[in-house]
Structure 1
Amino acid sequence: MRILHTSDWHLGQHFLGKNRYHEHRAFLTWLVDQVERHRADAMILAGDVFDTGTPPSYARELYNQFIVELQRTGAQLVVLGGNHDSVAMLNESRELLGCLNVSVIPGVLADPERQLLTLYRQNGDPGALLCAVPFIRGREVLESQAGQSSQDKQQALQQAIADHYRTLFELAEHHREQLGASLPIIATGHLTTVGASSSDSVREIYIGTLEAFPASAFPPADYIALGHIHRPQKVAGLEHVRYCGSPLPLSFDEVGQQKEVLLVEFVAGGLERVTPLPVPVFQPLARLSGCLDELGIAMAELAENGSETLPVWLEVTVTGDDYLSDLQPRVEALAEGLALEILQVRRQRPQSGNGLAAAGGETLSELTPDEVFERRLAREALSPERQQALSTLYRGVLARLEEQS
């Protein structure tokens, strides 16, 4: 049994104003070719199909066109909703796509048995059982209780997510016994786990303790296909718990990562191997840092060694020239006539003693959002009344966002 594990396509994303249609189109064409080349029986798309809940029409067209092209391979497709996806939007075409060997699980379903899927080999025999878990919203698995503290709510949600996994896994074990076959059990998820290394483009989807769901809370499945983190990686060093990562770099801090999808193979009811399939670079990106003189030399070298057909999208961080008021036009002048497109120019600010991290080694990840806001606010020369007003506005925005989510 061979399965391709992919996630975080983010169709419809605009990268600092740049449309990514051609990159996504090239990736999806490549992906169908991989299904054929490796004779994959099924594909799991572990969330964040689209970049927003209201994707542009061309992004929906890419999605539908991919499903049509996948038909020639005979591979089964399972689509899980992510935190960027709209449950209602994915649900619109669920029944229609069911006629095309596509199972869509946009959110947690009322009947857990509908989230237990059988994956089939190309010859029609059952090949694996799938506990199809999408991104889990608190309202889907919890009821609010009066008097609960924030900590109580966080712990209750974490327990509810673990219980949801356990329920599905027990259903899968029972179904396997009924079939009388030695089938591997696979689970999916779209969340952050302990120790996962993320990037700037990843939105934290739970707060407090739930920013890192413990790997020990997953059921003992043969393979756990995860989405949400864009950097491909094992979880807690476990071979069978994996993020495949996003196929395209979604922020400049993902430049240099080897993007991949995972070919997962099962033999005799268990996991045999996981093979990364490197995704080609469809649009070159780069980051440069230095003073203006250094940047001019680096840009010339980058353009000389870059693609012959595509300009390099570039992020530039200027150091040592922060006193200049016309920095943007000076940087753009350096790239004139070169196969480069400067998408972002940043100044490297000197670190001050009252920064967001303390001198004792405290890191940003150790601070709460409120602490980050208050420390940043303290750096501004504002009256106490103005600081209080901004703090009130900030907490009001947070409260409204929490209500909407």
Structure 2
Amino acid sequence: MRLLHTSDWHLGQHFMGKTRQAEHQAFCTWLIEQVREHDVQVVLVAGDIFDTGSPPSYAREQYNHFVVALRDTGCQLVVLGGNHDSVAMLGESRTLLAQLGTRVIPGVGVHLQDQLLLLAGADGQPAALLCAIPFIRPRDVLRSEAGQSAVDKQLSLQQAIHGHYQALHELALARRTELGAALPIIATGHLTTVGASASESVREIYVGALEAFPTSSFPAADYIALGHIHRPQKVGGLEHIRYSGSPIPLSFDEARQQKEVLLVDVGEGGLREVRALPVPRFQALQSIRGSLKTLPAALADAAIDGTPEHPVWLEVQVEGDDYLSDLQVRIAALCEGLPVEVLRIRRARGTAVASLQAEQSTLDELTPEQVFEQRLLGETFEPDQAQRLHGLYNQVLADLRDESA
């Protein structure tokens, strides 16, 4: 059986006031082409199909169109909820989408067996068992206890998630025995693992709880398809535990990454091959750095990738100690006539200047996280202070999402 592993689409994302709708549409079209070309039987989206729990209507429409287009290929689709996804919103259409060959696991439910899926191969016969584990919220597996320290909460949550994985894996083993076939077992997850390399667009899942899940705590599955980290990578150098990463850059520090999806071949002997398919870049995105003297050359180099119709989106990091109140005006003058659009200006020493585009954006165009981020850009913090503020803010948002889920 051939499975295509992808994650972290973040449909509906606004990036410095810019919509990603065209990029996501181009990616979905490209992905359907890959499914046909490579004879894929299952597409697995390992969490964060949407950027927020209340995505805009065009993002929901993109999602629905993809489901229909994929059905026409004969390929199965499995969608897992991520920390950005609303359990209620994803779950509201799962019965309907099941009629179109799509199985949605929005969150950890009451019945464990609902997360064990039987996947069919090209011949329509059982080909693999999938332990379909979405993002696990602490309330899904834990009861809060008074007097627990932050360390105790971390350990309790880690043990609870480990227990959930093991219980579902044991259920898969029993099901395999019942079927009387040496079916490979695939597991999923939407979380941070120890040693994973993240990017600035990855917001922490747990605050004061689980920071990273040990690789050794995963069950002995043949392949583990992970989401949440946007940089594609093997976990601990292991071939069978992978993050596919996001299909488009979701922050400027991802601009140089080669985005990819993963073709995974499994059979009765377990994992056979994992092959990366590079995702084309649908929108030029760059981060450049230099002084006001060297920036003209850097801007000219960046402009090579742009056209008047599709300018390069830029982050400009300005080196130099002198504070210039007209820095934005100067950068705008340097960019005049070039097919570039500056979305953010930063001082290389760490004090950021509000982006040109963000000032023209309305609050309706920005997510709460982006508003908070832009507010922090005007301040100077020590790294640990900024991280703590991000953590506290993310915890408030997570609590609010849990209440509305």
Fold match (TM-score > 0.5) = yes
Distance 1:402 1:146, change over 3 A: farther
- Kept after mapping to 2: 8 A contact 1:44/1:77: yes
Give the aligned residue type for 2:337: G
Give the 3-state SS of the residue equivalent to 1:188 in structure 2. Answer: strand
| Off by >3 Å, runs of 4+ in structure 1 | 304-309, 367-370, 397-405
Quote the residue 2:2 is aligned against. 2
Give the 3-state SS of the residue equivalent to 2:203 in structure 1. Answer: coil
Quote the residue 2:262 is aligned against. 262
- Deviation of 1:349 after TM superposition, in Å, equals 2.7
- Deviation of 1:174 after TM superposition, in Å, equals 0.3
- Deviation of 1:73 after TM superposition, in Å, equals 1.0
Alpha-carbon distance in structure 1 between the residues aligned to 2:177 and 2:109: 24
Deviation sequence 1:262-312 (CA, Å, 0-9, x none): 000013341011000000000001111111121112212322354585210
Give the aligned residue type for 1:263: L
Quote the residue 1:303 is aligned against. 303
Alpha-carbon distance in structure 2 between the residues aligned to 1:245 and 1:156: 28
Give the TM-score normalised by structure 2.
Answer: 0.88
Quote the residue 1:245 is aligned against. 245
Quote the residue 2:234 is aligned against. 234
Alpha-carbon distance in structure 1 between the residues aligned to 2:347 and 2:148: 45
Alpha-carbon distance in structure 2 between the residues aligned to 1:350 and 1:105: 41
- Deviation of 1:22 after TM superposition, in Å, equals 0.5
Alpha-carbon distance in structure 2 between the residues aligned to 1:90 and 1:398: 21
Quote the residue 1:184 is aligned against. 184
Give the 3-state SS of the residue equivalent to 1:293 in structure 2. Answer: coil
- Deviation of 1:123 after TM superposition, in Å, equals 1.8
Deviation sequence 1:144-201 (CA, Å, 0-9, x none): 2233223222211111100000010000000000101011000000000000000000
Give the 3-state SS of the residue equivalent to 1:266 in structure 2. Answer: strand
Distance 1:225 1:399, change over 3 A: closer
Alpha-carbon distance in structure 1 between the residues aligned to 2:72 and 2:248: 25
Give the 3-state SS of the residue equivalent to 2:294 in structure 1. Answer: helix
Give the aligned residue type for 1:48: D
- Deviation of 1:399 after TM superposition, in Å, equals 7.5
Distance 1:340 1:47, change over 3 A: same
Equivalent pairs counted in the alignment come to: 373
Alpha-carbon distance in structure 2 between the residues aligned to 1:350 and 1:273: 43
Give the TM-score normalised by structure 1.
Answer: 0.88
Quote the residue 2:145 is aligned against. 145
2:76 counterpart of 1:71: no
Quote the residue 1:136 is aligned against. 136
- Kept after mapping to 1: 8 A contact 2:127/2:267: no
Alpha-carbon distance in structure 2 between the residues aligned to 1:50 and 1:83: 10
- Kept after mapping to 1: 8 A contact 2:184/2:222: yes
Distance 1:400 1:318, change over 3 A: closer
Distance 1:254 1:399, change over 3 A: closer
Quote the residue 1:380 is aligned against. none
Give the aligned residue type for 2:65: Q
Alpha-carbon distance in structure 2 between the residues aligned to 1:128 and 1:105: 17
Distance 1:400 1:76, change over 3 A: closer
Alpha-carbon distance in structure 2 between the residues aligned to 1:265 and 1:399: 38
Deviation sequence 1:249-274 (CA, Å, 0-9, x none): 00000011000000000133410110
Quote the residue 1:162 is aligned against. 162
Alpha-carbon distance in structure 1 between the residues aligned to 2:169 and 2:234: 21
Give the 3-state SS of the residue equivalent to 2:176 in structure 1. Answer: helix
Quote the residue 1:215 is aligned against. 215
- Kept after mapping to 2: 8 A contact 1:2/1:40: yes
Quote the residue 2:113 is aligned against. 113
- Kept after mapping to 1: 8 A contact 2:154/2:211: no
Give the 3-state SS of the residue equivalent to 1:219 in structure 2. Answer: coil
Identity %: 62
Quote the residue 1:388 is aligned against. none
Alpha-carbon distance in structure 1 between the residues aligned to 2:350 and 2:233: 33
Alpha-carbon distance in structure 1 between the residues aligned to 2:159 and 2:329: 53
Give the 3-state SS of the residue equivalent to 1:129 in structure 2. Answer: strand
- Kept after mapping to 1: 8 A contact 2:128/2:185: yes
Consecutive unaligned residues of structure 2, counting only runs of 5 or more, are: 352-379
Alpha-carbon distance in structure 1 between the residues aligned to 2:338 and 2:148: 59
Quote the residue 2:314 is aligned against. 314
2:113 counterpart of 1:103: no
Consecutive unaligned residues of structure 1, counting only runs of 5 or more, are: 358-363, 377-393
Deviation sequence 1:53-80 (CA, Å, 0-9, x none): 0000000000000001001111110000
Matches within 5 A, 1:270-309: 270-306=270-306
Alpha-carbon distance in structure 2 between the residues aligned to 1:147 and 1:267: 48
Alpha-carbon distance in structure 1 between the residues aligned to 2:395 and 2:267: 50
- Deviation of 1:348 after TM superposition, in Å, equals 2.1
Alpha-carbon distance in structure 1 between the residues aligned to 2:2 and 2:299: 44
Alpha-carbon distance in structure 2 between the residues aligned to 1:258 and 1:82: 22
Alpha-carbon distance in structure 1 between the residues aligned to 2:51 and 2:74: 27
- Kept after mapping to 1: 8 A contact 2:87/2:106: yes
Q: Which of these two proteins has the greater Rg computed from alpha carbons?
A: 1
- Kept after mapping to 2: 8 A contact 1:154/1:207: no
- Kept after mapping to 2: 8 A contact 1:289/1:295: yes
Alpha-carbon distance in structure 2 between the residues aligned to 1:93 and 1:50: 14
2:103 counterpart of 1:124: no
Alpha-carbon distance in structure 2 between the residues aligned to 1:319 and 1:283: 26
Distance 1:350 1:212, change over 3 A: closer
Deviation sequence 1:3-35 (CA, Å, 0-9, x none): 000000000001100111110000000001111
Give the 3-state SS of the residue equivalent to 2:210 in structure 1. Answer: helix
